[in-house]
Amino acid sequence: MTEAPPPLEAGRYRVALICLGNICRSPTADVVLTDRLAAAGLGEVVEVVSAGTGDWHVGEAMDRRSAALLTREGYDPTRHRAQQVRTDWLANVDLLLEMDRQNLADLQALGPATPERLRLFRDFDPEGTGEDVPDPWHGGESGFVDVLTMVERTADQLVERLRSVVGT
Ligand code: 4NP
């Protein structure tokens, strides 16, 4: 069973969700995880951010296909603006979750970070543990639906793991 690493600082926990462009996968995971944490009463303790390894979309809103799907499913995607990952997060974020192996390799290349804090998002997926979240950007609608399905069930498991380490 995958555990979340202990907090760097008692009473708060920071999770960063990382993909390539920060307009499809990691912002989808950000919106869903933030929603689930609030529902679990952990919204004040666990802070969620997302970012891309690339800088092409910095400042942009979410991809309109991801945003439309989230809206249809009852989430609010409108607050997102893309940003690029910051190297100082490596030492100051409790858990950096990468959407795929390339994102993980890129984060590892950025600088030293504890392996237990630098992990694949789907290490927390109760189905298909350790797989990539496939990049839906070049594909059709079904890729976006698949991403949301795996993100929702992974977020549910992640909330339980976070609850254990923040002790609430
Ligand atoms: P994301 O998807 O990493 O899930 O946000 C992508 C968005 C943009 C690009 C690639 C993937 N791009 O090449 O611009």
Annotated active-site residue 63? The verdict is no
Mean pLDDT of 74-102: 96
* Ligand 1 neighbourhood includes 15 CB (under 6 angstroms): no
Q: Which of 14, 24, 25, 101 is catalytic?
A: 25
Rounded CA-CA distance 42/168 in Å is 8
For 124-162, what is each residue's pLDDT tens digit? 999 988 899 999 999 999 999 999 999 999 999 999 999
pLDDT tens digits along 97-114? 999 999 999 999 998 878
Q: Output the CA 113–ligand 1 centroid distance in Å.
A: 24
Q: Give the strands of the sheet with 13-19, arranged side by side.
A: 46-52, 13-19, 95-98, 118-120
Alpha-carbon Rg for the chain, nearest whole angstrom, is 15
Do β-strands 118-120 and 13-19 pair in parallel, antiparallel, or remain unpaired?
unpaired
Regarding pTM above 0.95, the answer is: yes
Residue-range domains of the chain with CATH: 13-166 (3.40.50.2300)
CA 84 distance to own-chain centroid: 14
3-60 pLDDT, tens digit per residue, is 999 999 999 999 999 999 999 999 999 999 999 999 999 999 999 999 999 999 999 9
